[in-house]
C-alpha cells in the first residue's frame, strides 16, 4: 500500500524533476503557469492528509464511547496471517482492550499453511486430524483448505472441544510448522484475522470459510486497497467466504482499527458485512 508519506515523497520527486527540466529546457518563462496546477496538487494532498489525521484522531478519542465496553466477557483471538504487520496487530489488540475485551491469544499462521506448494502437507495433516476428531468436529466432506480452516478455528476458539483434542490440534499444527500458538492462551468467543502478505485467493477463501464454520464471530482486517491492486481483502470480498465474515479495510490506520473493533462488536449479533473506505456496507458498522 502507498501511505500518505510515500505519496508526498513521490510528488516532491516529480516536482524536482519538473524543475530540472525547466532549467535545462526553455528557461523559467517557458513553463509560466505550470506552478499553479502543481500548487493545487500539493494543496489537495495536504488537505487529504489533514483530513486523514483528523479522522484518525477523532476515532481514537471517541473509540471508548463508541465501544461502550461491549467486548467485556467476549475474549478475542487474533490470527495473524504471514507477513501481518506487528504494529497493526498491536494497535488492534489495544483497541480490543479499549472496548473492554481481552485478547485470548495471538496466533501466527506460518507461510506453509497458505502456500499452494505445501498443499500435500496441509491436506495429509488435515485429513489425519479430522479422522482423529470425528465428523462432529470437522465436516467429512471439507476439502483441503476449508478443512484446515476448521481445524484452525478449533485451535483458537475450541468451543466444546475437549482438552485432549484441543491439545492434539494445537500440537499437530505447531509440529507441522503451520501455526504458532502462544504459551499462555485461553478460549476465544470472537476471532480477528489480520492479513499480511499476498495469499492465493482460493487458499485464503478456503481457510476463512473453514474458520467461520467453527468460530462464533469472525472479522478479517486488511490494509487499504490501492488503485493498483485490491490486495487480499478485495479478493476475499469477491468470494463466497465473505458472506459469513465481516471484512474491514484500512487496518493500518487508527480509524480502520476502531472500525475493526466495531465490526467485532457487531459480529456478536450480526455476522458478515463489508466496511471501511471501500466497504460495500458503509465506512463504519452501525451497531
Identify the pLDDT of residue 42: 53
First to last CA, the chain: 29
142 pLDDT more than 70: yes
Q: Which residues are CB-contacts of 174 (< 8 A; sequence separation ≥ 6)?
A: 180, 181
- Provide φ and ψ at 219, rounded to 5°: -125, 135
Identify the pLDDT of residue 57: 74
DSSP state of 77: E
Half-sphere exposure of residue 169: CA atoms within 13 angstroms, side-chain side = 25
pLDDT tens column, 173-230:
999 999 999 988 888 989 999 999 889 999 999 999 999 999 989 999 998 876 444 5
Please give the model's pTM, rounded to 2 decimal places.
0.80
Query: Average per-residue pLDDT in the chain?
Result: 83
Identify the pLDDT of residue 46: 57
**Do 22 and 107 fall into the same domain?**
no
DSSP state of 200: -
Put residue 28 in one of left, alpha, beta given phi > 0 → left and psi -120 to 50 → alpha. Answer: alpha
Asked if residue 14 is part of any domain, the answer here is: yes
Range of the domain at 34: 4-54
pLDDT tens column, 272-284:
999 998 889 988 8
Asked if residue 10 is part of any domain, the answer here is: yes
Asked if residue 108 is part of any domain, the answer here is: yes
**Do 78 and 130 fall into the same domain?**
yes
Asked if residue 258 is part of any domain, the answer here is: yes
**Do 116 and 20 fall into the same domain?**
no
**Do 30 and 95 fall into the same domain?**
no
Share of the chain above pLDDT 90, in %: 62
Asked if residue 211 is part of any domain, the answer here is: yes
CB 105 within 8 A of CB 188: yes
10 pLDDT more than 90: no
Q: What angle do CA 239, 71, 60 make, to 5 degrees?
A: 85
pLDDT tens column, 99-109:
999 999 999 99
CB 80 within 8 A of CB 107: yes
Amino acid at each position: 500500500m502507498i501511505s500518505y508519506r510515500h505519496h508526498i515523497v513521490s510528488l516532491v520527486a516529480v516536482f524536482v524533476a519538473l524543475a530540472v527540466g525547466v532549467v535545462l529546457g526553455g528557461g523559467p518563462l517557458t513553463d509560466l503557469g505550470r506552478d499553479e496546477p502543481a500548487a493545487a496538487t500539493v494543496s489537495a494532498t495536504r488537505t487529504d492528509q489533514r483530513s486523514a489525521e483528523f479522522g484518525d484522531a477523532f476515532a481514537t478519542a471517541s473509540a471508548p464511547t463508541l465501544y461502550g465496553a461491549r467486548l467485556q466477557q467476549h475474549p478475542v483471538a487474533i490470527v495473524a496471517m504471514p507477513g501481518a504487520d506487528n504494529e497493526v496487530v498491536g494497535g488492534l489488540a489495544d483497541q480490543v482492550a479499549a472496548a473492554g475485551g481481552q485478547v485470548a491469544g495471538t496466533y501466527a499462521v506460518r507461510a506453509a499453511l497458505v502456500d499452494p506448494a505445501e498443499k500435500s502437507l496441509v491436506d495429509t495433516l488435515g485429513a489425519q486430524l479430522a479422522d482423529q476428531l470425528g465428523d462432529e468436529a470437522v465436516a467429512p466432506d471439507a476439502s483441503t483448505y476449508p478443512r484446515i480452516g476448521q481445524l484452525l478455528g478449533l485451535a483458537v476458539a475450541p468451543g466444546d472441544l475437549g482438552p485432549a483434542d484441543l491439545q492434539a490440534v494445537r500440537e499437530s499444527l505447531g509440529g507441522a510448522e503451520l501455526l504458532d500458538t502462544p504459551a499462555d492462551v485461553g478460549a476465544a468467543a470472537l476471532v480477528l484475522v489480520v492479513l499480511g502478505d499476498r495469499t492465493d485467493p482460493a487458499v485464503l477463501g478456503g481457510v476463512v470459510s473453514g474458520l467461520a464454520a467453527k468460530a462464533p464471530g469472525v472479522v478479517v482486517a486488511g490494509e487499504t486497497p490501492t488503485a493498483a491492486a485490491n490486495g487480499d481483502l478485495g479478493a476475499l470480498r469477491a468470494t463466497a467466504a465473505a458472506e459469513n465474515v465481516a471484512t474491514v479495510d484500512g487496518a493500518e490506520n487508527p480509524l480502520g482499527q476502531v472500525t475493526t473493533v466495531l465490526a467485532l462488536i457487531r459480529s456478536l449479533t450480526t455476522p458478515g458485512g463489508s466496511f471501511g473506505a471501500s466497504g460495500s456496507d458503509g465506512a463504519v458498522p452501525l451497531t
